Amino acid sequence: MDEIKNFIDGEFLLSTSGQYIDDINPATGELIGKITNSNAQDVQNAVDAASSALQSWSSLTIKERITWLDKIADALESKKELIAQTESRDTGKPISLARRVDANRSITNFRFFAEFTAKQNDMQFDMDDAINYVHRKPVGIVGLITPWNLPLYLLTWKIAPALVMGNTIIAKPSELTPLTANLFASTLQEIGFPKGVFNIVHGLGPNAGQPILEHPKIKAISFTGGTQTGRIVAKTAAPLFKKLSLELGGKNATIILDDADLHAAAKGAAKAGFTNSGQVCLCGSRILVDASVATEFTELLLNEVRAMKQGDPQNEDTEIGSVISIQHLEKVESYVELAKQEGGTILTGGKRPSLSSSNNSNGAFLEPTVIGGLDINSRTATEEIFGPVVTLHTFENQGQAIEMANSTEYGLAGSVWTRNLERGREFSQQIETGIMWVNTWLHRDLRTPFGGVKNSGVGREGGQWSLSFFSEMTNICVKQD
């Protein structure tokens, strides 16, 4: 069993609280770790370390910091399989998914920001009698608070740009999935990364997260998580004039137009709905299909979903693992029951599966579930469930499809399926989201802006947007003789 400690000033330390939180493998119900439960004093200790390291780290050249990003990527590459195995054990996701997505992106994030930053040029604006130079400098100490669904993937998505721009970091990973953050810290220690530049404080949100939000020396907060928690983050940090980046929830629509390739659309909708057991903020949890093709599409979709192999995450052929915890499973199940009360019909799934492995008998599993017959404005169809549940709706024309897609408080992502690419592009421009895909899903270019509108967040991550968030810009206007 792992003992997970804080990582402060290059050392692994227990919390001053002396308290622990259990870390459970959600696919087995097994206790796999004890996590130190931190408090405000631990945050203060981390801030002291980050403050001491800030001058020396920010004084390095961009090229020197890029070299460190490459060193980190190389070190993580050597632990790629260990990262995948650890992530699968901590989250209940299939090992194949952990390898393909989590481990790969955790490494790629560092390689991408190293290469991307190296290609950036300082901005300069010439006037007739003066030159304006835009100088970037670090924000200072930044707080990174990340969720449990893609633990190291999303943590490194923030760490890499924060480091390359010269900041020092206080990170708080989710208390449900601390193992890969701990592995990352040990990797930094092994390669001799400068002490105090990166620090981790583990624990519950009110005990460890809130002091990060409130601390006056922490100048920026980058948060990924649920909208309800995002409101707390904004309410606390905004009055303190901290820079804020909030990537929050979604209730994304997968839209099937009448001219779509229905076989491809069904595969895409199943992937969008059930990857990581539906526990991705980008998942397409509402499927909107043109009524003229709804019968054929529904049959194809149900065939795709029923063919998905659910089981032990450690099996190579498993496609659907568990959800993150029994408590979360019960929340998702409550929405399945709500759907029935709201007049919905369970087309497939809706119950806990009978799995062949006795190791998973206490796991948090739910069959991938498709629900039809619900009003588009029902609670089930508008509230974020964040599990292996999608709702299926029909529309009569393109205008109604747009209205239905925009009928939630969220606006993170969506996809539209059509053989007419120009139609898909024009349609996408009318959807109130930060990201739209045409005939694909989760097709990512890390140079592009990532984030949502409405209650799905504030700000953008990726490429130049991440570099801008983790830096302050000073315009220096030099009068010419």
Q: Which element (helix H / strand E) includes 104?
A: helix 104-118
Instruction: Give the tokens for residue 150.
Output: 């893609």
What's at 71, amino acid-wise? K
Backbone angles phi, psi at 384, to 5 degrees: -70, 125
| Cα distance between residue 3 and residue 231, in whole Å | 32
What residue spans of 138-261 are helical by DSSP H? 151-164, 179-190, 210-214, 227-237
Select which of 87, 175, 281, 461 is catalytic: 281
| Cα distance between residue 27 and residue 360, in whole Å | 6
| Cα distance between residue 345 and residue 372, in whole Å | 5
Cross-strand partners of 6: 13
Contact 15, 203 (CB under 8 A): yes
Cβ of 227: how many Cβ atoms within 10 Å? 20
Give the C-alpha distances (Å, rounded to integers) separating 283 from 61, 304, 407, 430: 39, 16, 17, 19
Is 304 assigned a catalytic role?
no
Look at the alpha carbons of 74, 104, 200, 242 in this order and tell me if their dihedral is positive or negative. Answer: positive
Instruction: Give the tokens for residue 302.
Output: 């149900």
Cβ of 108: how many Cβ atoms within 10 Å? 18
Q: Which element (helix H / strand E) includes 305?
A: helix 294-306
| Cα distance between residue 265 and residue 397, in whole Å | 18
Is 214 assigned a catalytic role?
no
Cβ of 18: how many Cβ atoms within 10 Å? 9
For residue 75, the number of C-alpha atoms closer than 13 Å in the C-beta half-sphere is: 18
Select which of 247, 304, 384, 461 is catalytic: 247
Question: Any idea which residues carry the catalytic annotation?
Answer: 247, 281
